[in-house]
Amino acid sequence: MEVFFLGTGAGMPAKLRNVTSIALKLLEERGTIWLFDCGEATQHQVLHTSIKPRRIEKIFITHLHGDHIYGLPGLLSSRSFQGGESEVTLYGPKGLKDYVEISLSTSQTYLKYSLKIIEIEEGVIFEDDAFIVEAKLLEHGIPSYGYRIIEKDRPGTLLADKLLKAGINPGPIYKKIKNGEPIELENGEIIESARFLGPKQKGRIIAILGDTRYCDAAIQLALDADLLVHEATFSSGEESLAYEYFHSTTVQAAKVAEKAGVRKLCLTHISSRYDRTDWMRLVEEARESFPVTVIAEDFKEIHLPLR
């Protein structure tokens, strides 16, 4: 599981930072990629990576400001041209369906794959046997959501040596044991799979937030997360400006991370007023409150190991 930053700037594209888009690479877990926001030129950024658009399974939009959605019609269209045939599901605020359907209709774009658009409200918006995604409204000028991605705990490692000692030879039965199913042996004995499994592997948690002021919803989304991706449009000392424009400072992002007990904070959505020489200062401002802080850059990747 990796978080890969395709765009990390605020408001409009800049030479060093494109506008917002984040890829959650779940290639080992499910063979797919989830995208969070799709700012202008996201598909151009993808060209410089190993990401295959046909692997994009879900796209989560935080809010409908242009720097988070203007790249969406182009990406969806190109995915069709590049051989993408599997279904894509879009999640986002009310108005997303109109925006996408009108854009594709007006440009007479035909997609070779099924596109499902879900306009979300707060709560669990997706769940399967491996992941849960929750959404909460943040504080921004228009409805802006944050997402909490929860990986469900995995079964423990199969204790093959112990199985062999118990006279249980390899075969389809091992898969059933791995899945935690009770097993009936040939002699009629019922065994509990838990006897032959190591401790469960704790699932990982990621919080990816849209644009927001400092707020309680951000803390709730980030509770005990392995990684919090939080906007830091402004530097320390600019709290009044951040509040006026519905954004956060570096120190406010660190405060959320500290209160939520996260393991790592990554600052993103960096204003173009700060050039490369300022970036380390922004990190240090946050580290005064939360030491395990990094700053996102375009094409930066963060690996999330199992706990």
Question: What backbone phi and psi angles, to 5 degrees, belong to 124?
Answer: -75, 120
- Which residues is 118 bridged to in the sheet? 91
> Residue 211, annotated ligand binder?
yes
> Residue 44, annotated ligand binder?
no
Quick check: helix, strand or coil at residue 147?
strand
Spatial distance between the Cα atoms of 71 and 301, rounded to a whole number of angstroms: 21
Contacts of 8 (CB under 8 A, 6+ apart): 17, 18, 20, 268, 269, 270, 296, 297, 298, 300
Residue 129 bears catalytic tag: no
Q: Which two tokens stand for residue 73?
A: 């019609």
> Residue 224, annotated ligand binder?
no
Beta-carbon neighbour count of residue 101 at 10 Å? 12
Residue of 37, 67, 224, 226 with catalytic role: 67
Nearest residue to 65 via CA among 4, 178, 142, 155: 142
DSSP letter for 237, please: T
> Residue 303, annotated ligand binder?
no
Cα 161 to the center of its chain, rounded Å: 38
Q: Which two tokens stand for residue 157?
A: 């490692």
Beta-carbon neighbour count of residue 105 at 10 Å? 9
> Residue 37, annotated ligand binder?
no
Question: What backbone phi and psi angles, to 5 degrees, belong to 115?
Answer: -120, 120
> Residue 216, annotated ligand binder?
no
Residues 124, 134 contacting (CB under 8 angstroms): yes
Q: Give the up-direction half-sphere exposure of residue 84: CA atoms within 13 A in the CB hemisphere.
A: 25
Residues 75, 36 contacting (CB under 8 angstroms): no
> Residue 230, annotated ligand binder?
no
End-to-end CA distance of the chain: 12
Residues noted as catalytic: 67
Binding annotation for Zn(2+): 63, 65, 67-68, 140, 211, 269
Binding residues are 63, 65, 67-68, 140, 211, 269
